[in-house]
Amino acid sequence: MKKAILTIFLCVHALVGYAQTSQQKDLHQLQSDFVDLRFGVMMHFNMGTFTDEEWANPDHDPQLFNPAKLDCNQWADACKAAGMTYGILTTKHHDGFCLWDSKYTDYDVASSPLKRDVVAEYVKAFRSRGLKPCLYFSVWDRHNGVENGGPKEEAFVLNQLTELLTNYGEIPLIIFDGWNWKMGHRLISYQRVYEHIKKLQPNCLVSEHNGNSNLQTDIVYYEGPKGVYPPGNNVYPSQMALTLTNGWFWHPGAGKEVKSLDYELDKLQRVVPLYCNFLINIGPNRDGLFDDAAVARLKQIGKTWKADRNRLPLPSQAVVVKNFITVAAVSASDGVAVVAPAGPANDGSPIAALLDQKKPDVMIDGISDLVGDRGGFAPFQTYWKFSPSKSPAVVLDLGEEKSISKLYYLPAQLTGYSGIITKYTLSVGDTPTALTKVKEGTWQKNADLKVTTFSPVKARYVKLEIAAAIDDAMISEIGVGN
């Protein structure tokens, strides 16, 4: 069996390439350049194409993957005709089947009748038409056992990302799925994955299926089919996808389900002015081609829609944490752990323990999403709801003394103003009781990510005292860093 030893050494060994040849650009400039792309395609093409599943079973026979007429040039020509400027291809979906010949699994195109590198052909075809090739990667790999997290599983993810980011030239963006909203950023470390990507390709932006927050992502992703659109006052660099047919993947009869020209134009005109790129998701069929009806619709769009170049530049972005420090433990005043929505989450999460949390650990589990899903699988959020108290507070234990300069707090989402902390005091120290105040202040009455900055200090314990909140305070995620 074609398996390599999953070690971080192999990842680090491959850091030669782009880290040495690319000059790192300012993040805001990269974000500005990205939203100026405006219009792109997302392509769900993988095992589910051949099994008529949106989430394919992770144990299908690779022999099922057989696109006999695969032509990525046809994809690229159709997208170019539509006026698109970039693409995103599902290199690996939740079932774990890889569209490239990975050293770390046999569940890939090398074991299929195709025996061709689909990622390479896609990248070459799109680049040759002046389209930027971006990649989609599901962390929630159920075939290779990544869904439960762990050091070996994390090394597996890093090694596969090394393959994708060293073998195909410059990749402007990679978007992750099945991570924040399925496993949480703690089971597979967001910080280590992010740093690994930036070492391989400093200018590769990271996007995440994590709802409408700018926590732990360079580009916010709004998932249109789940009813998530950018708000009318959006200033986050972002992108939103909607499907051209009634599914992410191609299904029999998809050619008769192509949405109207007016539907697509309406979304372009509503979304793009909000610093949000619009993606049309197209599922190539089992021949490996766009259906004729899809090609025709894209051609119509290209003849009708033109980008408005008068949009103001992307505004300066709010302060975010760049270096997240893992919290060893958390304690809090009385309250209750909440998993919402409780029913759908039972179907949507592979990690039973995440749905049975009773302690304040819900504030550091890395799960901050809450978006309904008409398909019956629901992302969920977890948060701590404080009991009525004269002095509600939370204490973070970093395990050892660390240098810190920022604290972040994400309110519970989709609860209106309820639970939002509006006034706080922040203290730090070497013991949970001997603490020194480093900051006090106020936060706006909204559900946006809150980040407070203070002079760098070394400490093991961090205490957030809640001086005022709307109703009983709620915290979805909290942490520190720099």
Q: How far apart are CA 290 and CA 340, in angstroms?
A: 38
Is the same domain home to 351 and 246? no
What is the token pair recorded at 107? 């569940």
Q: How far apart are CA 247 and CA 375, in angstroms?
A: 10
Lowest mean pLDDT among 36-50, 368-382, 391-405: 368-382
Q: Which of 276, 304, 332 is the endpoint of a domain?
A: 304
Q: What is the pLDDT of residue 276?
A: 97
Return the closest-CA partner of residue 260 out of 308, 228, 304.
304
Q: In terms of DSSP H, where are the helices of 305-429?
A: 342-348
Q: Average pLDDT, whole number, for the chain? A: 91
What number is the average pLDDT over the span 399-414?
95
Indicate the pLDDT class of residue 341, thresholds 50, 70 and 90.
low
Q: What is the pLDDT of residue 8?
A: 39
What number is the average pLDDT over the span 149-166?
97
Q: What is the pLDDT of residue 64?
A: 98
Q: What is the pLDDT of residue 65?
A: 98
Q: What is the pLDDT of residue 375?
A: 42
Residues 479 and 185 sit within 8 Å (Cβ to Cβ): no
Q: Which of 304, 339, 362 is the endpoint of a domain?
A: 304
Q: What is the pLDDT of residue 11?
A: 41
**Is 376 a residue whose pLDDT tops 70?**
no
Lowest mean pLDDT among 347-351, 410-414, 448-452: 347-351
Q: What is the DSSP letter of 217?
A: -
Does 397 reside within a domain?
yes
Q: Which of residues 477 and 209 earns the better pLDDT score?
A: 477
446's enclosing H/E stretch is none
Strand pairing category for 329-332 and 238-243: unpaired
Residue 166 buriedness (CB in 10 A; 0-12 / 13-18 / 19+): middle
Is the same domain home to 257 and 356? no
Does 315 reside within a domain?
no
Q: Please report, in angstroms and rounded to a whole number, the separation of the first and last CA atoms in the chain.
A: 43
CATH number at residue 18: 3.20.20.80
At residue 177, the 3 state secondary structure works out as strand
Lowest mean pLDDT among 107-111, 335-339, 452-456: 335-339
Is the same domain home to 131 and 277? yes
Q: How far apart are CA 348 and CA 14, in angstroms?
A: 35
Q: What is the pLDDT of residue 17?
A: 44
Q: What is the pLDDT of residue 357?
A: 83
Q: What is the pLDDT of residue 79?
A: 98
Q: What is the pLDDT of residue 352?
A: 67
Residue tagged 């006052």 (tokens): 233
The verdict on whether omega for the bond into residue 341 sits within 30 degrees of 0, i.e. cis, is yes
Range of the domain at 429: 324-481
Q: Which amino acid is at 260?
A: S
Q: What is the pLDDT of residue 213?
A: 84
Strand pairing category for 39-43 and 276-281: parallel
Q: Which pLDDT tens digit goes with each residue over 101-117?
A: 999 999 999 999 999 99
Is the same domain home to 416 and 290? no
Q: Which pLDDT tens digit goes with each residue over 128-143?
A: 999 999 999 999 999 9
What number is the average pLDDT over the span 68-89?
98
Does 136 reside within a domain?
yes
Indicate the pLDDT class of residue 210, thresholds 50, 70 and 90.
confident
Residue 266 buriedness (CB in 10 A; 0-12 / 13-18 / 19+): exposed
pTM (two decimals): 0.93
Q: Which of residues 74 and 376 earns the better pLDDT score?
A: 74
Q: Which of 304, 332, 348 is the endpoint of a domain?
A: 304
Q: Which of residues 126 and 353 earns the better pLDDT score?
A: 126
**Is 447 a residue whose pLDDT tops 80?**
yes
Is the same domain home to 264 and 351? no
CA distances from 189 to 18, 50, 60, 139, 423 (A): 23, 32, 29, 11, 30
Q: What is the pLDDT of residue 224?
A: 87
Which region holds residue 260: left if phi is over 0, alpha if psi is between -120 and 50, else beta? Answer: beta
Q: How many structural domains does the chain have?
A: 2
Does 1 reside within a domain?
no
**Is 9 a residue whose pLDDT tops 50?**
no
**Is 342 a residue whose pLDDT tops 90?**
no
What is the token pair recorded at 466? 């809640």
Does 314 reside within a domain?
no
Q: What is the DSSP letter of 108?
A: B
